[in-house]
Structure 1
Amino acid sequence: MQNKVAVVTGGASGIGRAVAEKLVSLGCKVVIADFNSQSGNATATQIGANFIQADLSDAEQCRSLIAQAAQLHGSVDILINNAGFQHISPIEEFPVEQWNKLIGVMLTAPFLLIRYAWPMMKQKGWGRVINIASVHAMVASPFKAGYISAKHGVIGLTKTAALEGGEFGITVNAICPAYVRTPLVENQIADQARTRGIPEDQVVTDVMLKNAAIKKLIEPEEVADLVAFLASNQASSITGSSLTIDSGWTAQ
């Protein structure tokens, strides 16, 4: 992957940062995109990447992100759609604006970013799109209607893009992790405790790890290692797949 150009959304922290750092270590020219400019700039400086601030709920900023990355490095070869957030509340209390924002950032933005990067990948006859979905792209949990709907949609987008990209050397896959030790997950603990009416220390054991055979949070580096494999030439025949890192959650 030496000198391949990779765009990683939500790259300032958590899974995105681990993925960006891994790809830099493999010789990629990495562009981190994130809404948070302070942490995004800091991460880019620390790992040797470029940073572009972007609000992915804005279609024009999605277009501009890909255009700026191509201007920096000549093309976009690898696209990692990782950016996301959650809102936790019962359906009857779920704010419509939060629904629209979740769908915009986590489903519409991946579609747009793929659309804008696609011509460059087709021209080269090589491309990798890796969508960071979730175990919640395959199963549901209460109080996460927007997040789960968006992630289920990402699987459909992944499959469709894989079918269209095959003849051009473009592979498109999704990774579906269970709970990963990230700031996003840590911030959920208080929300889950409040919504479910249980102590915070019960959230990890009784909610996050309840369905897992391996009773531990997943580390971001584990996801980054799978991203690196899917982005490599060794994975050139894997496309349209949804690969789980879920500690056995969906084995039930």
Structure 2
Amino acid sequence: MSAAEAMEQYGPSEITTDRILTVEDPAYTDENVALVTGAASGIGRAISLCLAGNGLTVAGVDVDTDGLDEVTDRAETLGLPGGIEPVEADLTEESDIERAVEQAADIGDLRYLANVAGLQTIAPIAEFPTEKYDLMHDVMQRAPLLLSKAAWPHLEESGGVIGNMCSVHGHIVTEDKVAYNTVKFALRGLTQSIAAEGDGDIRGFSVSTGFVKTPLVAKQLPDSAESRGLSVPETVEQVILGASKVKRMMEPYEVGNLFVHGFSHHASHLNGDDMTHDGGMSTTY
């Protein structure tokens, strides 16, 4: 099976208005801004659309300008009550991070930060490329800290919330993903530090899922299958869903809906905690 065929069969479903969870929250207005990283594709795209679907203005941050244009157009096509403002930024550059926060704050009242951007490299520890580890650390651990730092004064003023996209691999690990495992565990430490220092004025939470039907996951399936001597369907059944009691991959919009709830006043006691939605992967055997 080619990457294109895997994308067709295992890629994400399109987001429509009926798939977006909407909640009543007086802070969910277009005057309030949610900065979302990785907004051009996958989970970041879904979170952006779900938050815009609840009336927020989203500052969508990514290096992929074409992807940002697409998600902005999608929000307009759906007629969502909120909108998406594209913000091009390289999360490996501290100056870009600071500028992205400034741009988000110029749009409206910066109240929410979703640290979502991520990437993957699969290799055993003995062969893991250092430059790939450094890149993953910079995008997935250093950038969330720097974004939180830059956004902190705005969030203190607004009583804001920081949500970090973690993973089941921030609880349990699999082989050949040492960088991914390491940064996801570290994100949970950042989340708890945010809660400790936010002192009730700024909340922090993380979201941990199993495998999600993102383009990144779908396109990796053929290589993953070949390395194991399996077909792609066998890889999905045995590897992706083998430890899960729920025998389907999660949709990106389902993750977006978790952030809708987590940012809202309905989750006021979600602080320093992790929303684990992994289909039973980490809690059953």
Q: Distance in 2 between matches of 1:16 and 1:123?
A: 25
Q: CA deviation at 1:197?
A: 3.8
Greater share of helix = 1
Q: Which of 162, 165, 189 is matched with 2:195 structurally?
A: 162
Q: Which of 188, 200, 204 is matched with 2:232 structurally?
A: 200
Q: Which of 85, 109, 121 is matched with 1:50 structurally?
A: 85
Q: CA deviation at 1:112?
A: 0.5
Once structures 1 and 2 are overlaid, which stretch shifts more, 198-207 or 144-153? 198-207
Is the contact between residue 62 and residue 88 of structure 2 (CA under 8 Å) also seen in structure 1? yes
Residue in 2 that maps onto 1:108: 142
Q: Distance in 1 between matches of 2:258 and 2:196?
A: 21
TM-score by length of 1: 0.95
Q: Distance in 2 between matches of 1:42 and 1:85?
A: 20
Structure 1 residue ranges, 4+ long, deviating more than 2 angstroms after superposition = 193-202
Is the contact between residue 54 and residue 65 of structure 1 (CA under 8 Å) also seen in structure 2? yes
State the structure with bigger RCO (CA 8 A, min sep 6), 1 or 2.
2
Q: Which runs of 5+ in 2 are unaligned?
A: 1-27, 76-82
Q: Distance in 1 between matches of 2:226 and 2:192?
A: 36
SS at match of 2:87: strand
Q: CA deviation at 1:227?
A: 0.6
Q: How does 1:1-252 map to 2 (within 5 A)?
A: 1-3=28-30, 4-47=32-75, 48-73=83-108, 75-124=109-158, 126-168=159-201, 170-252=202-284
Q: CA deviation at 1:43?
A: 0.9
Q: Distance in 1 between matches of 2:74 and 2:250?
A: 23
Q: Which runs of 5+ in 1 are unaligned?
A: none
% identity of equivalent residues? 34
Specify the code of the residue in structure 2 equivalent to 1:105.
Answer: V
Q: Distance in 1 between matches of 2:246 and 2:269?
A: 29
SS at match of 2:213: coil
Is the contact between residue 33 and residue 51 of structure 1 (CA under 8 Å) also seen in structure 2? yes
Q: CA deviation at 1:95?
A: 0.6
